[in-house]
Amino acid sequence: MDSFSSMAISSIRANSEHEYMKRECQPKTWTGGLHRVLCMQGGDDDGSYAKNSEAPASAITLSKPLLLTAIQSMKLFVQSEEDSLRIADLGCATGYNTLATIDMVVEGLRERYIKECGVDPEFEAFFSDLPSNDFNSLFRSLATTLSNNKARRYYAAGVPGSFYSRLFPKGKLHVAVSLSALHWLSQIPEIVLDNRSPAWNKGRAWIDGAKKEVVEAYAKQSEEDLEDFLRCRKEEIVEGGVLFMLMGGRPGSQRPDNQLDDSDSRAKHPFTCSMDQAWEDLLNEGLIDEETRDGFNIPAYMRSTEEVERAIERCGGFEIQRMEYQRIVEHSKEKQDEWIRDPVSYGRAKANLVRATLRPIVEAHVGPYLSEELFKRFENRVSSDISLIHKTCFYGVIVVCAIRK
């Protein structure tokens, strides 16, 4: 090929890449609401939620005794084998955690009914999440057998929709659980998306350490959302039924601009420093403009125990049986040792974690090409800051068990 043709080809390629980037770079509005976009990454590859849900799994393990106690002490409803018991997991995502939880609740209740009432009731399990959730992957994994080689003994159904609105008829549910999901807000507050407002979140993707106006807007959204959630569940859960919630949270006395457990956890959290640096890299490389960077916000809020208690009181209809703040260690010691030996694999693992949780909303903001560029910058930033690998960090969670009065 002569040099002229090769120059022409590379110029066409550069032009089409430029056009593609321009097209992809346009910030997109989440028309129709965040619930159309937000979901964990489906499937089962390295960037999927199913392969990146170690911290939620640890949270469930830690809160398991509380859930089992609730199951052991809840009112018994079924009198004959014709009646069924109905359990819902709200914000189920895909993968192991939801199945393990439903199995645990079903088996716990079955044993109680057989022992205390002499009946072996039928169970219905409702797996509920936003319509964008990968229900196909979830239903495929339903077919696998339990660890003790038994088949699952419940009738399963998927319920697409937001848990901030009604999902079931009145008095339908006996047990509703929601695990590691309620810290996701229904939307980014409008004033945070207005570049003329004092709540414009300049230079940050999230609210930890952000300006007062941004934090207050998120806190207000979080309050409205939790109250909506509780009002809907108050209608749907039968009297004596159980509502079990596990959500990202902070201790009662901690200010809302301090979303995380301590300074190391703050520095290492996937929504904070490395995420901001990755957006800054895209900006400095001329791939996005400042408004695109600042217009991206992560719709998560870690509530305090006080905020949760206040919302439950204001809603009425529930009695708090137990409420606890717990700290979840971010990763196992074995993983940490592995990463100390190989920091590049650490960067990859962290980038996969943010892909699993944020890819759909990053793609909605900047398109798939720039989304992947962002995750690559994030990976580089994380693997080049080796000092953080040695730090053990924590996620805070609030666990609440409430009985419908």
Q: What is the rounded CA–CA span in Å between residue 396 and residue 208?
A: 14
DSSP β-ladder status, 394-404 and 318-329: antiparallel
If the CB atoms of residues 38 and 207 are measured against ligand SAM, the closer one turns out to be 38
Q: Classify strands 237-250 and 394-404 as parallel, antiparallel or unpaired.
A: antiparallel
Cα–Cα separations (whole angstroms), residue 195 to 6, 200, 211, 296, 299: 44, 5, 14, 12, 17
Residue 381 is given by DSSP the state H
Residues 120-159 that bind ligand SAM (CB under 6 A): 129-130, 133
- Rounded CA-CA distance 171/166 in Å is 12
Among residues 113, 123, 164, 200, which is the contact residue for ligand SAM, using CB under 6 A? 164
CB of 62 to ligand SAM, least distance (A): 12
Least Å from the CB of residue 299 to ligand SAM: 8
CA dist 179 to 42, 176, 217, 240, 368, Å? 17, 10, 24, 20, 29
Residue 92 sits in the site that holds ligand SAM (CB under 6 A): yes
- Which residues have a Cβ under 8 Å from the Cβ of 272 and sit 6 or more positions away? 206, 208, 209, 260, 266
Backbone angles phi, psi at 172, to 5 degrees: -85, -35
Cβ closest to ligand SAM, residue 49 vs residue 77: 49
Which residue stretch of 13-21, 36-44, 198-206, 396-404 sits at the interface with ligand SAM (rule: CB under 6 A)? 36-44
51 vs 293, beta carbon nearer ligand SAM = 51
Among residues 278, 273, 250, the alpha carbon closest in space to that of 387 is found at 273
Task: For the segment 211-270, give every residue that binds ligand SAM (CB under 6 A).
Answer: none
Tell me if 374 contacts ligand SAM by CB under 6 A.
Answer: no
Contact pattern for ligand SAM over residues 178 through 197, marking x by CB under 6 A: -xxx--x-x-----------
63 within 8 A of 102, measured Cβ to Cβ: no
Q: What distances in angstroms separate CA 231 from CA 48, 159, 222, one per listed residue? A: 32, 18, 14
Which of 42, 67, 91, 379 lies at the binding interface for ligand SAM (CB under 6 A)? 91
- Binding to ligand SAM (CB under 6 A): which residues in 39-58? 39-40, 53, 56
Q: Of 58, 162, 265, 292, which lies in the binding site for ligand SAM, with binding defined by CB under 6 A?
A: 162
Specify the residue, 190 or 290, whose C-beta has the smaller distance to ligand SAM.
190
Between 99 and 205, CB nearer to ligand SAM: 99
Instruction: List contacts with ligand SAM (CB under 6 A).
Output: 35, 38-40, 53, 56, 60, 91-93, 97-98, 129-130, 133, 162-164, 179-181, 184, 186
